[in-house]
């Protein structure tokens, strides 16, 4: 799943291809093309380019295709359709990453292939993708890809995460401002990975109840103050980012894997979208919205009122002091005039 930058359109994948939904009414929105032989949608990314302030959706499929839809005048149009190779080799595209500074798109597959494409927008408005490089990482089932966030490395470095390399890593989300990567460590739990020294600095524990594991999404929510992670037994977990304490456990009502999780602000309300992993035609998305303000919101407003009242008292004291000082000067002038008149007589 993915969601547009304004939190208005939810994008889902799966066996029925890429579909669009209103995040407010949950009604389906017409897609620009019917998906025929492209395969299941296995990766999604929604970005807003600096040079073109509209939402753009990148979809990857189980057959190695990827395509791009662009929003224009409240409708969507397909502007790019590509295959990762000329030989039509198969391999699920599992993740995308976007770099604003260079207008480049990175992708990875279950066969360990990593590619970077450069997006070029012509004067006509048409967008073209040119392949920058293509590499294959041996012994890696890639599940996440990320452009370099640090100035100490070359500008075009790409990091790839996955299974069967340094451990079972599932979904990832970057916090570029802090230089951190939130990743799904399927054995230990969600973890923060520091970019500049590749060190794990915090792990949020989730008990494992199954002998096998699957990659799951992890997401930051509430302006980075909470961590939301999928589970392998029908639950989602919400942690406090700083303390590591578990705040909530949300159940989908079954014992299925919860692999797909995203978070967003929908009409300024923190919202969680999750979908269980299942075979067949049955497709469900569960939605949770915050109904009450955060616990720290009330004390914050209390301090605002206290400071506001103190400021009013301070202003009042200044006004009174000013009046008293000037009143004394006026009374002194009046007395001086009266005294001078008496001496002249």
Tokens of 13: 């994948």
pLDDT of 78: 93
Does pTM surpass 0.95?
Answer: no
**Rounded alpha-carbon distances, angstroms, from residue 307 to 104, 310, 313:** 48, 5, 10
pLDDT of 332: 60
Residue with tokens 């190695």: 64
Q: Are 236 and 261 in contact (CB under 8 A)?
A: yes
Give the integer Cα–Cα distance in Å for 215 and 290.
26
pLDDT of 345: 31
Q: With CA atoms as reference, report the closest residue to 132 among 111, 106, 94.
A: 106
Q: With CA atoms as reference, report the closest residue to 231 among 262, 258, 264, 261.
A: 258
Sheet with 246-251, edge to edge strand ranges: 218-221, 226-230, 235-240, 246-251
Asked whether the CA dihedral 45, 168, 118, 36 is positive or negative, the reply is: negative
pLDDT of 156: 60
pLDDT of 115: 94
Tokens of 86: 């000329």
pLDDT of 328: 61
pLDDT of 60: 95
Query: What stretches in the chain show pLDDT beneath 70?
Result: 35-36, 88, 125, 150-156, 164-167, 209-212, 278-282, 292-303, 322, 324, 326-345
pLDDT of 242: 93
**Rounded alpha-carbon distances, angstroms, from residue 187 to 29, 80, 117:** 38, 38, 33
pLDDT of 333: 54
């Amino acid at each position: 799943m993915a969601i547009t930058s304004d939190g208005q359109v939810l994008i889902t994948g799966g066996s029925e291809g890429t579909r669009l939904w209103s995040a407010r009414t949950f009604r389906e929105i017409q897609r620009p093309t019917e998906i025929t032989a492209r395969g299941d949608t296995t990766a999604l990314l929604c970005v807003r380019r600096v040079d073109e302030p509209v939402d753009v959706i990148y979809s990857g499929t189980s057959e190695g295709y990827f395509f791009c839809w662009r929003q224009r005048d409240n409708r969507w149009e397909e502007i790019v359709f590509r295959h990762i190779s000329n030989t039509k080799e198969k391999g699920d595209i599992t993740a995308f990453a976007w770099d604003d500074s260079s207008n480049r798109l990175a992708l990875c597959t279950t066969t360990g292939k990593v590619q970077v494409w450069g997006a070029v927008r012509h004067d006509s408005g048409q967008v073209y993708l040119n392949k920058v490089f293509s590499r294959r990482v041996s012994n890696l089932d890639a599940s996440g890809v990320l452009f370099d966030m640090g100035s100490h490395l070359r500008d075009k470095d790409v990091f790839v995460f996955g299974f069967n390399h340094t451990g079972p890593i599932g979904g990832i989300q970057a916090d570029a401002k802090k230089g951190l990567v939130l990743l799904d460590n399927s054995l230990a739990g969600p973890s923060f990975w520091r970019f500049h020294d590749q060190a794990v600095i915090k792990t949020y524990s989730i008990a494992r109840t199954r002998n096998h594991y699957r990659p799951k999404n992890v997401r930051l929510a509430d302006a980075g103050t909470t961590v939301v992670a999928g589970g392998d037994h029908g639950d989602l977990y919400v942690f406090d980012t700083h303390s590591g304490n578990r705040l909530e456990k949300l159940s989908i009502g079954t014992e299925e894997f919860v692999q797909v999780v995203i978070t967003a602000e929908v009409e300024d309300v923190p919202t969680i979208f999750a979908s269980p992993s299942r075979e067949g035609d049955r497709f469900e998305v569960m939605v949770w919205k915050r109904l009450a303000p955060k616990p720290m919101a009330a004390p914050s407003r209390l301090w605002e009122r206290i400071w506001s009242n103190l400021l009013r008292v301070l202003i009042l004291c200044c006004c009174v002091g000013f009046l008293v000082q000037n009143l004394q000067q006026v009374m002194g002038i009046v007395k001086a005039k009266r005294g001078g008149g008496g001496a002249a007589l």
